[in-house]
Amino acid sequence: MPAGDFTSNAQLSKEEAWLFKTIFDQAGFGAAVTDLSGNIKYINEYFAALHGYKPAELLDKNLSALQADNQLQDLLNMEVQLKENGRYRSVKMWHRHASGYVFPVIVDGTLLKDGRGAPKYIAVTAFIPARLKHTGENLQQSEQFFSGIVDSLPEAAFVIDRQGRVIAWNRAMEKMTSVPKSIMLGRDNYEYALPFYGKRRPMLIDLILLPEGVLERFKNNYIYLHREGDTITAEIRLPATPGGENAFLVGSASILRNASGSIAGAVEIVRDITGRMQAEEDLRKSDRKRYEEQLKYLSLHDHLTGLYNRTFFEEELRRLSVSREHPITIISIDIDGLKLFNDSLGHERGDELLKSCARVLKQSLRKSDILARIGGDEFAAILPRTNEKTGLEIAERIRSNTCLYNSGQTGLHLSLSIGVATAETADVPLEEAFKRSDRLMYREKLRHSSSTRSQMIKTLMAALAEKDFITEGHVQRLTRLCLVLGEKLGLSMRQLNDLTLLAQVHDLGKLAIPDHILFKNGPLSDEEWNIMRLHPEKGFRIASSSSDLSGVAGLILKHHERWDGKGYPLGLMGEEIPIECRVLAIADAFDAMTNDRPYSKAKSHEEALTELKRCAGTQFDPDLVEAFLSVYEKVYAN
């Protein structure tokens, strides 16, 4: 059944509500309804299953959690179409499955209004495109589509067209060969073989395009070489590769066909198995039993926390289902807000939180209990010979130990959602008890979601204020400058409120930037600048997840745009840039220039004003610079 009760708030009659739910519950496409901030209020089973979830797991989550990264321009275009036309149609997007892989979808959106005609909801539909057609008119689009698919692959891969020209070279291949995509795209004449063989020669991607009878003459070059239909697999030992000497590679190549069935090109996937081959050699030279024990341990334990993994957990469920250990209690635990934590402070800090959670849980359970990490932010425990009353007491012990852990933390706190279910006898399958504890955990998580996000945003704001990135008091001075200039320009009360909030949180994304870059004594390198330039997008994603900050999320994204269009990340120019961002740019630059920074001494006010005049019409809005000069005396009269 779908999750959510959107119809009860949409001024529908009972018959209309029943008709809506009947149509969309049974639809052969994904259907969801969100509020204006993108929080999911209704979702059918098709939409949830498309992303690897159950409907209840997505209720009240933000739709952006299902979208892949680096699509900000598309999202902004969709927002504009909604405002201007009340809908957007057939937009190709990339979504992320629960298991992590990225896939293409076609989405439509329609603005839904209440009885007074005011926008209230957004109806979204999604489906997988049937297939990609390779015709002369959309060849460039197809190549870009292929490149997107290949880039999402975890293995090193590249694609050539029928003429042997490279049209895709993914990130894993860049890492394996140390050859960037920008250099390899468009190359032909076997140039893609140079990083592997040191010379131009056919690779599997070329052999698959040859007639099958020709393959025999190449078999002596490989440890094995096998073709089946449109796919060829092989293993080869190379004298020199990017991984070093005497390396082993295993690869596969497949023919790509267009809509008419004609050959359009080929794709090859390459994997370095030198480590595996070396491990096999070590196995022959070392004690086999010790090696097998090590492999068994790794196969049954989570490498990050050292707890049991999902494989072991499920094996224990099956074993204990037919044991004499009943009653058996299952506890499901989930870390609240881990994604926001990762987005704001980075995955390394997120990993630390996961390890801290594992320690708290181990301290709370008994030696006879079985604790496992079964997903990214999910844990579960099996408690043999434990009735429901004792199980609930242990859950309370987990909550108490979590509070004790938080009392000693100055940073972000650990928040857990917990569900408890008991199989009193063997007549109740443990798998059913696990599902019930999982449902109870998600029910508690939904109750926590709003307060958890609010608490995390408050903590992030405190961390931001503590760092005060340029110098002490920067935010207070910036807020005052922005307000005085905003009042001079006659901005509305809503704009002034947004401007005040923007002055405080515009650098929220810098919490995810490493301190060694943020506070570097000296100019940043090109690579460091590329990392620094990500902070508006990171700030946008953090703010979008908070109802308190979502109203200024778009302003955070655009606060580094320039009047001449040379800013980032969107390259907006002139009045395409919101006036709040143009005001902030001038005030922020003036305050930064007139106070000491890690790599430069403060300028005098006269020097800073001269610099603002010089950059008027390029970096800054020239009219706003004039307005700033006119209010300067008022701000700095004392």
What amino acid is encoded at 180 in this protein?
P
Q: Which two tokens stand for residue 87?
A: 């809908």
ω into 536 cis (within 30 of 0): no
Q: Alpha-carbon distance 377 to 398, whole Å?
A: 16
What are 421-445's pLDDT values in tens digits?
999 998 989 999 999 999 999 888 8
Q: Alpha-carbon distance 614 to 625, whole Å?
A: 10
121 beta partners: 35, 112
Q: Which residue from 179, 182, 180, 223 is spatially nearest to 204, judged by alpha carbons?
A: 223
Give pLDDT, residue 470. Answer: 45
Give pLDDT, residue 443. Answer: 87
What amino acid is encoded at 104 in this protein?
P
Q: Alpha-carbon distance 303 to 326, whole Å?
A: 30
Q: Which two tokens stand for residue 352?
A: 């630390």
The dihedral region occupied by 571, where left means phi > 0, alpha psi between -120 and 50, and beta the remainder, is: left
Taking the model in full, what pTM does it have?
0.45
DSSP 202-248: --HHHHTTS-GGGGGGGGGGSSEEEEETTEEEEEEEEEEETTEEEEE
Helix (H, G, I), strand (E, B) or coil at 611: helix
Give pLDDT, residue 10. Answer: 47
Give pLDDT, residue 136. Answer: 38
- What residues of the chain score a pLDDT lower than 70? 1-28, 99-101, 128-149, 152, 239-246, 259-260, 281-294, 343-346, 410-412, 449-459, 461-472, 545-548, 597-600, 637-638
Give pLDDT, residue 248. Answer: 85
Give pLDDT, residue 99. Answer: 66
Give pLDDT, residue 134. Answer: 39
Q: Alpha-carbon distance 62 to 453, whole Å?
A: 12
Q: Which domains does the chain have, with CATH numbers?
A: 6-127 (3.30.450.20), 139-279 (3.30.450.20), 293-449 (3.30.70.270), 468-635 (1.10.3210.10)
